């Protein structure tokens, strides 16, 4: 069964790009995905003769550019989108291709054999060029963008399409010609629920890097780090198991490690923020210059620390829990800030300097006097809930 899909990108085009494989076959990532409908600008028909096996034969059905060129099927019934006999033909302008792509510029106007054949007197028009490894539908999207055929450009392509487009942009060196439209897509995708999952965010991360969009790349990188829920990997400095290979063809080799390091840094910052209130109180547990000993322990400090650790445990914020390893940092920080706001007025989380060696209100007397009277410190009280909130807010101020 043979099917040929024709799309006119430029009615005055002089190049006929032939793609032997039907869309749905993505040699870049090895996946297959058949779209339910052809992209905008394509229709189906069964009126034209079957295609030939050579590009020159493909060109013979296009003696002149016309908007009436339509996809055809030589047999009744459904077509097999993975059948190599299926083709997509695009009528495009060589001038636009050369302006948008350095690769096509060398191919069509340089000293290469293809350029000489294209420029030779009597060469067929439109001139056929077969691109065996590329996806015809994705290239049609690229061609519509660089030919300013905005009516045929979708508001937001799928993640698979964007990744395939990124491979084409990288292959043909035409990022500058696509960048404006790519930024529009990314801004829409960031707000789109369909792109809200971690995997889709990583797809956008790759796309923004390949298209050289630094601002969206920064925003999505931060989102990936802050909202990643999978367990951290201790063998790579508490790294992150990203759903793309470290040697991904569109990313620098050190991007994967850089994200893992940022993830580890945020983990340390959050851990420090959770334990900062304890650190403020432990500074008065023993008097300066002496080794730690029971006789120098402050009863109020010990009680306050115990209450604070119980507060963390009650709110599932203990940094030694498995939950801290698997939940996203954004959920942990949100929970901690909400809990701290509710606990700011609780006396149990307010440390006050001991004023009497006798006993605390409602508590039994300790068998030894408190050592606070020997200690020089700044301030007479510490609100541990406020200290927690302040530390967490400070942890979020660092940048990638």
**Cα–Cα distance between 277 and 297 in angstroms, integer?**
17
The reported pTM is 0.63
- The pLDDT assigned to 99 comes to 95
- The pLDDT assigned to 100 comes to 96
Secondary structure in 3-state letters for the chain: CCEEEEEECCCCCCEEEEECCCCCEECCCCEECCCCCCCCCCCCECCCCCCCCCHHHHHHCCCCCCCCCCCEECCCCCCCCCCCCCEEEEEECHHHHHHHCHHHHHHHHCCCHHHHHHHCCCCCCCEEEECCCCCHHHHHHHHHHHCCCHHHCCCCCCHHHHHHHHHHHHHHCCHHHHHHHHHHHHHHHHHCHHHCCHHHHHHHHHHHHHCCCHHHHHHHHHHHHHHCCCCCEHHHCCECCCCCCCCCCCCCCCHHHHHHHHHHHHHHHHHHHHHHHHHHHHCCCCCCCCCCCHHHCCHHHHHHHHHHHHHHHHCCCCCCCHHHHHCCHHHHHHHHHHHHHHHCCCHHHEEECCCCCCCCCCCCCCCCCCCHHHCCCCCCEEEHHHHHHHHHHHHCCCCC
* Cα dihedral value 7, 189, 211, 238, nearest 10: -140
Using only the alpha carbons of the chain, give its radius of gyration. 32
Query: Can you list the residues of the chain whose pLDDT is less than 70?
Result: 1-3, 21-86, 228-254, 282-299, 319-326, 347-348, 352-381, 394-400
- The pLDDT assigned to 319 comes to 67
- The pLDDT assigned to 198 comes to 78
Tell the burial category of 8 from Cβ atoms under 10 Å away from its Cβ (0-12, 13-18, 19+). buried
Termini Cα distance of the chain = 53
What strands lie across the sheet with 72-73, from one edge to the other?
72-73, 3-8, 87-92, 15-19, 127-130
246 contact partners, CB below 8 Å, separation of at least 6: 253, 256, 257
Question: Would strands 31-32 and 350-352 be described as parallel, antiparallel, or unpaired?
Answer: unpaired
- The pLDDT assigned to 93 comes to 96
* Cα dihedral value 103, 109, 112, 118, nearest 10: 110
- The pLDDT assigned to 48 comes to 27
């Amino acid at each position: 069964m043979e099917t040929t899909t024709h799309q006119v990108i430029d009615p005055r085009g002089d190049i006929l790009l032939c793609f032997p494989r039907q869309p749905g076959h993505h040699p870049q990532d090895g996946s297959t995905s058949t779209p339910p409908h052809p992209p905008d600008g394509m229709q189906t028909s069964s009126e034209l003769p079957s295609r030939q096996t050579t590009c020159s034969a493909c060109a013979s059905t296009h003696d002149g550019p016309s908007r009436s060129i339509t996809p055809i099927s030589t047999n009744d019934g459904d077509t097999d989108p993975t059948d190599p006999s299926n083709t997509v033909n695009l009528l495009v302008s060589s001038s636009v291709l050369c302006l948008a792509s350095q690769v096509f510029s060398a191919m069509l106007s340089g000293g290469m054999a293809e350029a000489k054949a294209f420029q030779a007197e009597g060469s067929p028009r439109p001139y056929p060029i077969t691109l065996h490894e590329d996806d015809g539908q994705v290239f049609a999207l690229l061609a519509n963008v660089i030919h300013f055929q905005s009516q045929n450009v979708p508001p937001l392509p799928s993640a698979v399409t964007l990744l395939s487009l990124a491979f084409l942009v990288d292959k043909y060196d035409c990022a500058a010609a696509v960048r404006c439209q790519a930024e529009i897509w990314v801004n829409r995708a960031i707000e789109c629920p369909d792109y809200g999952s971690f995997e889709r965010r990583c797809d956008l991360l790759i796309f923004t890097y390949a298209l050289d969009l630094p601002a969206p790349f920064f925003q999505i990188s931060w989102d990936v780090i802050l909202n990643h829920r999978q367990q951290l990997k201790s063998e790579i400095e508490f790294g992150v198991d990203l759903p793309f290979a470290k040697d991904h063809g569109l990313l620098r080799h050190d991007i994967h490690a850089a994200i893992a390091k940022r993830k580890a840094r945020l983990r340390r910052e959050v851990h420090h923020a959770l334990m900062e209130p304890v650190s403020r109180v432990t500074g008065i547990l023993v008097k300066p210059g002496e080794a730690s000993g029971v006789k120098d322990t402050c009863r109020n400090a010990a009680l306050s620390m115990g209450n604070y650790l119980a507060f963390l445990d009650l709110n599932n914020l203990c940094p030694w829990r498995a939950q801290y390893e698997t939940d996203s940092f954004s959920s942990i920080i949100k929970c901690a800030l909400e809990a701290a706001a509710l606990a700011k007025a609780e006396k149990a989380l307010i440390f006050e300097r001991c004023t009497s060696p006798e006993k605390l209100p409602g508590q039994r007397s300790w068998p030894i006097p408190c050592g606070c009277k020997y200690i020089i410190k700044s301030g007479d009280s510490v609100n541990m809930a406020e200290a927690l909130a302040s530390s967490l807010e400070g942890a979020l101020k660092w940048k990638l």
